[in-house]
Structure 1
Amino acid sequence: MTSLKRAHFAAVAALVLLVLPFVPVPDFWITQLNYIGLFSLVVLGLVLLTGVGGLTSFGQAAFAGVGAYTTAYMSTVMGLSPWLGLVAGLAITLVLALVIGALTLRMSGHYLPLATICWCLALYYLVGNLEALGKYDGLLGLPALQLGDFSFRSERRIYLLIWAAALLAAVGVTRLLDSRPGRIMRALNTNRGGGATMPEAMGASTFRYKLVMFVVAALLASLSGWLYAHMQRSVNPSPFGIKFGIEYLFMAVLGGIGTVGGAFTGAALVKLAEDQLKVWLPVVFGGSGNYEIIVFGVVLVLVLRFAPEGLWPLLARWLPARGHKAVDEQAPRLSARSHPPRGAALLDVRQIRKQFGGLTAVNDISFTIRAGDIVGLIGPNGAGKSTTFNLVSGVLPLTAGEVELLGQRVDGRGSRAIARAGLSRTFQHVKLVPDMTVLDNVALGTYLRTRTGTLRAMLGLNGAEEAQARAEAMRQLRRIGLDGQAHELAGNLALGPQRLVEIARALASDPSLLLLDEPAAGLRHKEKAALADVLRQLKAEGLSLLLVEHDMDFVMKLTDRIVVMEFGRHLMEGTPAEVQASPAVRAAYLGAEE
């Protein structure tokens, strides 16, 4: 087995699943696998939404209900084709997901899970009280699915549809996660990628991608509901309430909420265990009851304690290792922006101010940067350097003042718009996605230079552009001397290389101006020397840099000019030699005039 690639192993497993109905296995196996396939479709959405995006939702069961009830009503009451029911169910789910997502996804903390519980309950009680939908008795007598003369009436036949849908969805989600939009989605999780700040600095709308994940998850659940309705040939509200919403989330956590394989693992374990527990637990406890819920609660606590990433990563250790995708460095280069000639005006900061209530953190700061310069922004702790940095890059809005980049006003714009104008940045606290490779982290920087959307990625139509993005990422890694670690997980690197990876990611966006926020912080002497060499090389190549840094020796040896701040105000500006000779600067740092 170890000689096989994991992709080959997955293909063999999929083939075995698809031929099972044609071999003499017990009907009970087919029934169980049908439910596992249906559950896996729903849980795949949670892998994307909760595991990757960090957005907890208890409402997947409600979207499955939308798909089920739409086709049930259209095929029984209106007498229309179930295939029209599929199209209508997905369309209604899309509209509902867009509306609900727009209302709830701006919430954070515990408010988002509570909101998903609320609209799940609302949809459950709505369908349970509508006479047209049969109230709590539901709708009966749904027709079997049919393609021409071929009927999917039997469980062995509809098994083919269920598992074809589940496996295709798995392929689509896998492709999505390894694509341009997928890299942004993986960076959204505050526990893994640093939240919204970094993707926005790359030029991506974090809210848009949260909404995309929400919609994709809802559509997968709706598809599962449609298949369930025509497998059962009836619908009622019971499988679409909050109980199943919680169970789906439990399946995702148990299997491995951040992995595609975890969706199938969790669905299989919960379905098989639930059936067995319903038989054995009443015997053990001597009476009927939902004892399996108690067991699942205990199991969930144990999994969260001893296997927080779920069971699939443990099982995957026994599978062939996933090979590295080759990088075609001969791929055509991505489009590049035109850069100003050396010495041309690049950044003009005029009288910018930032007030937080009664506190003035930045007080009328002005400075300019010309193309090809390295400018340092220094000052004692609390001087307002990082705030100034965030004002220039659009992370914080200005209270007053103007910022001009390459001749156009960018004050009042967000960090996404400023990134499009030609500014890129790194962060004081490194913001990489630790469970993505170094190469994929750097490829995040190509976001504004590429165009692939979610649907194209899921359909696998992004191959040429993806090859270009990966080639560009490898070129930037070679530029900073880290190409040998391209396929390492970013979280396995030491702090020094991680800071270099951030620089490579910023360079991949082809910026005219690069902002570095304390790039030498926490680095050892040799790492600082390596970083300084990289920055000198970038300057020699014509790149302009603005850096905030506390290490005076590092700044003095590297910069052309230095802007000094104290208590939010402009103290002085000059060459490194002029700054070192200034009594005012020595007083600011030492606390007394010479």
Structure 2
Amino acid sequence: MSRLAPLLAGLAILALPLVPGVPPFWFTLLNYAGLAAIVVVGLVVLTGMANIMSFGQGMFVGIGAYTSALLTLHLGVSPWLGLPAALAVAGACAWVVGAITLRLSGHYLPLGTIAWNISFFYVLGNSDWLGRYDGLPGLPPIAVFGTPLLASEQVFYLIWGCVGLSVVLTLSLMRSRTGRAIRALKGGRVAAEAFGVDTGRIKIVAFVYAALLAALSGWLYAHVQRAINPTPFSLNASIEYLLMAVLGGAGSVWGGVFGATLVTLLKDQLQNVLPLVLGAEGNFEAIVFGVLFVLLLQRAPDGLWPLLTRRTGAPPPPAPVAAPPLPPRRAAVSGPLLEASGLRKVFGGLVAVDGIDFSVAPGEVVALIGPNGAGKSTTFNLVTGVARLSAGTVRLFGRDTSALPSRAVARLGVARTFQHVKLVGTMSVIENVALGAHLRGSAGAVRGALGLDRAEEAALFAEAQRQLDRVGLGALRDRPAASLALGQQRIVEIARALCLDPALLLLDEPAAGLRHQEKAALADLLNRLRGEGLGILLVEHDMDFVMGLADRLVVMNFGAKLCEGPPRVVRTNPAVVEAYLGSAA
């Protein structure tokens, strides 16, 4: 039933003109709902998928509307020629605004979008060439085959056709390599960057895409209304778009369409009913929406659409198909894979890592061990570019990488897991694993939205399936990652890391949460990887697991290296025994 819900709702809307006796007002109302739905679909990508809160979508609707209006009024061009201009101007403005604003984090980011929208509103209202608050009247209508679309019934199919196009493009984009990178932002920047995702660029892609859909809505609005003024593009309109997204389900494309339609219809009915009930005129519907919003956040934080359809908004992963293997990325290395020299990291007055030296050769397993707080995970972050060195040098494959960001380190052939699992819980297991192969694909947002990346996607998912089978979790490919036990999630992280086809693999507490048989299977997998020439650096607290696997141990205590050597030597070292058990023991 959940798959049929969008189809049935769409058919009901499209069949409305065929029903005799429907008042024209209902077509007008649904046209407004469709215009809002286009904006909200973009907002779903931006807020629900990319986790970027924006209160500025009304501005991009206005940019699209005013661009086309000015061209058609002053240059006499066709509205159809005004469309690409509106998209181009809105996209360029979104790129500039995004490049500035997306550097902000926390509550400063939505506040920044509020500032942009307010500024835009007052620029419109105080510019003579934009008509000030009176706006621009007398815009030409959109014509199809020489017939101008004047009545609400005539533009109905055009608007809802654009809604359908927006939904199809967005669903296709979200299933693509770029879409997975966008959704990975919800799991955290650190994990996405660790597999080569340029999160700054991906944020701008999401921001521009949402602005383009908003501009499409603005173009339609301008030539359907045939007059524009600043009011529909104010901050209030942007807040309403966000309300529609949250009410329907900010993580679901269909939820965005549902929320836009529901709020538009409900707002109209409340404006008619509430004054009669309360005996006074006023914007009482805002109070009702505020109460609904609070109740929704408490009872259904994912929105109404997932609640009604019993499914999440994430697109289903593709079915397994045969595909040629991806070309290997791992290059033959003769010398050490990793050389860490004098690593030092200071946080304020705390020295977390102090003068650590070690190396990892091809086909070697090296383990960092030590008590909690010894600085092992911080050392991992220094090696992989997640944290910046205070002093020291990291050389990977003979190259100084001390100043490289983690995405550049990943490009060299380094993959890692995390002490605290960093999977995108709403994505399926196989989509999380396919994210590890991000650097092994090349399709961008345009190819993804247009569905021109099918062959590449098949190859990426075939590789992800191969790695899942390799770690023994192939049967769980379609499960949401959040539904797995902690130990299984750690194994999924290893499969994701292997999808990069790395030469050096860093595992942060991979055996934590695993049962005895699962640990034995993991040890067998790591031994096979060592046999293939893969270098492995791991942090682990299970000494039985480490002693039976590692070629060499590096013992850390209070950020410094206590000793280094083979397991049989290290386990009897008095300094190590004291660090772990205390001098009395």
| CA distance in 1 between partners of 2:177 and 2:295 (Å) | 36
Identify the residue that residue 219 of structure 2 maps to in structure 1: 226
Q: Which amino acid aligns with 2:284?
A: Y
Q: CA deviation at 1:521?
A: 2.4
Cα distance between partner residues in 2 of 1:450 and 1:51: 25
Deviations 1:400-457 (A, max 9, x none): 2222212222111010111000100000000111111111110000100001111111
Out of 369, 377, 401, the residue aligned to residue 410 of structure 1 is 401
Deviation for aligned residue 1:535: 2.3
1:11 positional shift = 5.1
Alignment RMSD: 2.0
Structure 2 CA distance for aligned equivalents of residues 137 and 221 of structure 1: 22
Query: Does structure 1 conserve the Cα–Cα contact (< 8 Å) formed by 2:317 and 2:431?
Result: no
Alpha-carbon shift at residue 222 of structure 1 (Å): 0.9
Assess if the C-alpha contact under 8 Å between 1:353 and 1:399 holds in 2. yes
SS of the aligned residue for 2:338 comes to: strand
Residue 327 of structure 1: aligned partner: 320
Letter of the 2:483 counterpart: N
> Relative to structure 1, is the Cα distance of residues 414 and 439 closer, same or farther in structure 2, using a 3 angstrom cutoff?
same
CA contact (8 A) 2:415 2:498 kept: yes
In the alignment, what sits opposite 1:207? Answer: 200
Deviation sequence 1:370-426 (CA, Å, 0-9, x none): 111111001122221111111111111112222221222211101011100010000
Letter in 2 for 1:30: F
Q: Map 1:431-442 to 2 at 5 A.
A: 431-442=422-433
Q: Which residue of 2 aligns with 1:589?
A: 580
**Contact 2:118/2:235 (8 A) holds in 1:** yes
Tell me what 2:241 maps to: 248
Q: CA deviation at 1:151?
A: 2.2
How far apart are 1:262 and its partner, in Å? 0.8
**Structure 2 counterpart of 1:270, from 263, 267, 282:** 263
Counterpart in the other structure of 2:297: 304
* Offset of residue 324 of structure 1: 5.9
1:151 equivalent in alignment to 2:148 = yes
How far, CA to CA, are the matches of 1:262 and 1:537 in structure 2? 46
Distance 1:587 1:493 in 2: 38
1:72 paired to 2:69: yes
Instruction: Identify if the C-alpha distance between structure 1 residues 367 and 324 changes in structure 2 by more than 3 Å, giving closer, same or farther.
Output: closer
Name the CA distance, whole Å, in 2 between partners of 1:527 and 1:202. 25
1:414-453 matched pairs, under 5 angstroms: 414-453=405-444
**1:560 to 2:551 alignment:** yes
Match of 1:389 in 2: 380
Contact (CA 8 Å) 2:6, 2:254: kept in 1 or not? no
Which residue number corresponds to residue 544 of structure 1? 535
1:324 & 1:357 partners in 2: Cα distance?
45
- Give the secondary-structure state (helix, strand or coil) at the position aligned to 1:452: coil
* 1:172 and 2:169 aligned: yes
Task: Quote the Cα distance in structure 1 between the aligned partners of 2:535 and 2:7.
Answer: 49
Residue deviations 1:343-385 (CA, integer Å, cap 9, x gap)? 7522111222222234322222111111111110011222211
What CA distance in whole angstroms lies between the structure 2 residues aligned with 1:384 and 1:593?
Answer: 24
Q: Is the 8 A contact 2:134 2:229 kept in 1?
A: yes
Given that 1:586 and 1:593 are in contact with CA atoms closer than 8 Å, whether structure 2 keeps it comes out as no
- Counterpart of 1:41 (choices 19, 23, 38) is 38
Q: Secondary structure at the match of 2:105?
A: coil
C-alpha distance in 1 between matches for 2:339 and 2:560: 17
Amino acid at match of 1:33: L
Aligned equivalents of 1:375 and 1:114: distance in 2? 47
- Structure 1: distance between partners of 2:437 and 2:519: 26
Determine which of 1, 4, 17 is the counterpart of 1:21: 17
Asked if the contact 1:340/1:371 (under 8 Å) is kept, the reply is: no
Q: Which residue of 1 aligns with 2:341?
A: 350
Question: Which residue is equivalent to 2:524?
Answer: 533
TM-score (normalised: structure 1): 0.94
Deviation at 1:147, TM superposition (A): 3.5
Query: What is the deviation of 1:23?
Result: 5.0
Offset of residue 9 of structure 1: 6.3
Residue in 1 that maps onto 2:119: 122
The partner residue of 2:329 within 332, 337, 343 is 337
Separation in 1, partners of 2:113, 2:335: 53
Displacement of 1:528 after TM fit?
Answer: 3.0
Q: What is the 5 A alignment of 1:428-507?
A: 428-507=419-498
TM-score by length of 2: 0.96
- Unpaired segments ≥5 residues, structure 2: none
Matches of 2:280 and 2:78 in 1, distance apart? 45
| Runs of at least 5 residues in structure 1 that lack an aligned partner in the other structure | none
Give the conservation status (yes or no) of the 8 Å contact 2:49–2:183. Answer: yes
Checking the alignment, whether the CA contact within 8 Å between 1:340 and 1:346 is kept in structure 2 is: no
Distance 1:318 1:467 in 2: 24
Q: Which of 352, 366, 370 is the matching residue for 2:361? A: 370
Q: Secondary structure at the match of 2:272?
A: helix
> Which amino acid counterpart does residue 21 of structure 1 have in structure 2?
P
Name 2:232's counterpart in structure 1: 239
Tell me the distance in 1 between the aligned counterparts of 2:416 and 2:32: 48
SS of the residue corresponding to residue 561 of structure 2 reads strand
Query: Could you tell me how far apart the structure 1 residues matched to 2:116 and 2:138 are?
Result: 28
